[in-house]
Amino acid sequence: MTRIGTSDLDVRPLSLGGNTFGWTSDEAESHRVLDAFVDGGGDFIDTADVYSAWSEGGAGISETILGRWFAKSGKRDAVVLATKVGKAPGLEGLGAATIRKALDASLQRLGTDRVDLYWAHADDEGTPVEETLAAFDELVTAGKVRAIGASNFTGPRLQQSLETSRREGLAAYVALQNEYNLVRREEYESGPADVVAANGLAMVPYFALASGFLSGKYRPGQSADSARSAKASAHLDTPRGQRVLSALDEVATARGAEVATVALSWLKAQPTVVAPIASARTVEQVGPLLAALDLDLTDEELAALERASR
């Protein structure tokens, strides 16, 4: 088990992303994915109130499907549940009233009395930091939220928030959720990484598989059935993408593992990273994700992937 930053939340080093629920996975398949993930040893699930506003189900459908699964499976207490505020239509930003209203709506959809980790989905420079953190602190004090995190924050803005929490005696962010993977490293490593490390926070990276590119299913001259194929395939046209894919193939072959498993194993081994977030559209995709929990790469394998990803 791994502690999420300075909180009392312990998780295994992998988070299942809920962005597919109600979008690329219907409710029945989403429930099968959730069962497979938890029954296979996973215990950390990440969603958001805005998932999936771009789908037929609309914003909140992911939380709704997750809530129905909790009710059916009885597994709410078996997982650390994370959701987000700040991007849902009509509930944008991090104003105090927005945070309170959004959380109550999320709790209703999720069918639970608390969120274990509540993320600010994106920075809101138009709202005073003190107002945002006071609202989060109120929810923590009320027992509706156990811990809070920041997503899509720069290093300076994260540092400002942490200093404000200390100065005002308010609940503080315990984790950061930004994009970070083998083909997208610089923005995190040259920015917020130092703030995260210096303050004992946890990094919970999204797009851990680069929209599916690091699963190995995107190859030159081949098409993949995915709603994210355009974004993922873009990495095929870069020298880094080609180097990374080649290095992943070599390690995966040597270890008898899936490419996605190796990519996640590299990420979980990085400083400050606690639990990479990866999604599964089908139950068959869950296995390679869970396998990363038990695959520890050697120093030589980590170095080879490090070289390829520079």
Q: Which of 15, 54, 2 is nearest to 280 (CA)?
A: 15
Residue recorded with tokens 């400050």:
272
In angstroms, rounded to a whole number, what is the distance separating the alpha carbons of residues 188 and 16? 21
How deeply is 172 buried, as exposed, middle or buried, from its count of CB atoms within 10 A (0-12, 13-18, 19+)? buried
Mark whether 180 is an active-site residue: no
Catalytic residue among 51, 118, 173, 180: 51
- Residue 179: other Cβ atoms inside 10 A: 16
Query: Which amino acid is it at 214?
Result: L
8 A C-beta contact, residue 86 and residue 120: yes
Per-residue buried b or exposed e for 211-225, using 16+ beta carbons within 10 Å of the residue's own CB: bbbbbbbbeeeeeee
Catalytic sites, residue numbers: 51
